[in-house]
Amino acid sequence: MVIENNFDFSKLFDTLPIPRLVFNVEGGKATNLLQINKLALRYFNCKQSQAINLPLKDFMSPDNARNFEQSFQVCISKKRMVTIQALPTVPGALKVYGFWINPIMADDGEVIYIDVVGQPDVSNQSIIQRERDDAMSFLASVFEVSEVGIIVTDDNGKIVRANESFIRTYGWSRDDVIGSEYLSLIEDKEKDRMRINHDKFKDGSLRSTGEVNVLRKDGAVANVLFTSAVLRLSQDRSFLVTTVMDITERKKMEQSMRLAKDQADTANRSKSVFLANMSHELRTPLNAIIGFSELMIKEVFGIIGNDKYKEYLGDIHMSAEHLLDIINEVLDMSKIEAGRIELVDDDFHIRDVIISVSRMLSSRVFASNIEIVREIGNDIPMVRADYRLIRQVLINLISNAIKFSPQGSQIKVVAEMVDSGDLLISVSDEGLGIAKDKIQVALEPFGQVSGNSDARTVNQQGTGLGLPLAKAMVELHGGIFELISEENAGTTARFTLPKSRLIPKN
């Protein structure tokens, strides 16, 4: 007996609980849509009249259409099923995880249709719960293995959790801290401040950082750096999560370093005061040596009679003057460091100082054919400064330039006004120069930079105080000192006298 089956399979296709589409394939490409069910229409947010017999790009978004076209090509060429994930931006409220794309082949093995079947979203409460449990387990592990102490307090200031690092570092047991007020772990003098900090948390402040003293189980006090942040959960529950890092050893080290620095500063000040106070004791005998040797050289009270004695007297006089120069430099630097130099301001022309110093020093370079050239602007006003110190700055800079200038070279001394309204004075030479990485050394007290052995005065090494003294004296006037140099390209030392020290011309 044959039972006639009148079941309408089109209704089955149309009422499937998942989106389904069938495309025609011609010439190895998917062409037009043959069938689409209700859920597919809903998913693609279109009507049947807007999709049937049309290519997919006419009823899908461009991104979605591109995704499907690429997958169709793979399906047709490989003649096997492929899957794609659903794009999150497609319209419609239906949740679809992805699509299966199946090739329907004729007897000769050619693909004639593409059957597209939606993959339902398999998310359910058990999966969500499992992922939530995994996340909680992960966070709990991070909480416990962290080497930084962590405590969690509720809005009443009660500790509800403490990790292993906190327990181990500060010696408390979990029974000691869980359920107790966090203020019980804070040193008394810090409690008011930390109570205010916790009240800010309840008022909605999200983060705070600072230092506080925490009590250990053994009664010792630990210096800690803490960071607190608010954790808000469901049902309007809030907790304060605080990380605690022990910095006790670091604080002790900082305190030791401060103490050592204070001791070094005290010793340095004592040294400077001592040297400054030695001015009279050191200079008086040297002045006597210089004065009496000059009288003997000039044979004021009678002929010496032995040329060798005269030569020795010359050496004594020269050495005493050299020693006096060194002592004066050391004493000047010591006075500056001790803050015992006070400016004695006077009004004078910088032109006169430059001319006076350059003439005085020109005798040193006459035999070496070194020329000192002056370029002084006509618009330079008078200055109000300490004449002795400014003169000493120029003596130091020009003497330094002479020391390392080769024979037949030129030293240029320039004074000019700059755009800022300051007076700029520079001394440039054509000597050996200084490597850029050694410029800072040359500006440090007693810092000396060795030059080329061909330097004409390599045997005339000083104390290494000429440039540092010049820099300090300029800065006492509120000016800026700079040293610009390059090996084998000469050196320029320049400084400014600020606009406030210039006397405007009438």
Q: Which residue, 69, 93, 120, sits at the end of a domain?
A: 120
| Any domain includes 215 | yes
Question: Is 343 exposed, middle or buried (CB count within 10 Å of its CB: 0-12, 13-18, 19+)?
Answer: middle
Residue with tokens 């693609």: 44
Domain's final residue, options 120, 150, 177: 120
The CB-based long-range contact list for 232-241 (8 Å cut-off, 24+ gap) reads 238/154, 238/155, 238/201, 238/202, 239/152, 239/153, 239/154, 239/155, 239/160, 240/152, 240/153, 240/154, 240/155, 240/198, 240/201, 241/150, 241/151, 241/152
Do residues 259 and 159 share a domain? no
136 and 195 in a single domain? The answer is yes
Are 205 and 290 within one domain?
A: no
Domain count, the chain: 4
Instruction: Give the three-state DSSP class for 441.
Output: helix
Residues 425, 430, 434, 439, Cα dihedral to 10° = 0
Domain hosting residue 333, numbered range: 252-338
Backbone angles phi, psi at 145, to 5 degrees: -85, -10
CA atoms in the 13 A half-sphere facing the CB of 295: 8
Domain membership flag for residue 324: yes
2 belongs to a structural domain: no
**Is the domain of 475 the same as that of 451?**
yes
What's 158's DSSP letter? B
The pLDDT tens digits of the residues spanning 332-358 come to 777 776 666 788 899 999 999 999 888
Per-residue model confidence as pLDDT tens digits over 182-227 = 888 888 888 888 888 777 776 666 677 888 888 888 888 888 888 8
229 and 261 housed in the same domain: no
Instruction: Report yes or no on 4 lying in a domain.
Output: no
What pTM was computed for the model?
Answer: 0.44
How confident is the model at residue 458, as a pLDDT? 38
In a domain, 1, yes or no: no
Query: What confidence category does residue 464 fall into, taking pLDDT thresholds of 50, 70 and 90?
Result: low
Q: Strand ranges (DSSP E) for 27-85?
A: 29-36, 82-85
Report the CATH number that the domain containing residue 321 is assigned in CATH. Answer: 1.10.287
Same structural domain, 293 and 366: no
* Cα distance between residue 451 and residue 66, in whole Å: 74
Q: How confident is the model at residue 462 (pLDDT cuts 50, 70, 90)?
A: low
Q: In what order do the strands lie in the sheet with 237-246?
A: 159-162, 149-154, 237-246, 221-233, 207-215
**Domain end position, chosen among 120, 146, 171:** 120
Q: What is the mean pLDDT of residues 265-273?
A: 74
Q: Three-class SS of residue 377?
A: coil
Q: Which CATH number belongs to the domain containing residue 34 in this structure?
A: 3.30.450.20
